Amino acid sequence: MHMRKDSRRSGFSLVLAGIVGVGCFWVTDPRCGLISRPASADVVQAIGQASPGTYIGIAGSGAVALIGLWLMMRRTT
């Protein structure tokens, strides 16, 4: 029974970290984020350089959130 509580707490922490990560990557995206100022003078080049990192970061953070959900939903016998 104690292991189930630890698993749920860890799952909740992972879900929270995943959501914060997705939010951070979305906010700093130069194309559609809230902070949409590219670092260099060439806007197209800045977007092209930052977009792959944003997509990989969002996918990785989403995966962490999904693992956390799996830990929270899992039943131990």
Question: Would you list the domain boundaries of the chain?
Answer: 2-73
DSSP state of 44: H
pLDDT in tens, 48-66: 777 888 889 999 999 999 9
The burial of 14, by beta-carbon neighbours within 10 Å (0-12 exposed, 13-18 middle, 19 or more buried), is given as buried
List the helix and strand counts (H, then E) for the chain.
2, 0
pLDDT at 34 over 80: no
- Entry pTM: 0.73
pLDDT at 39 over 70: no
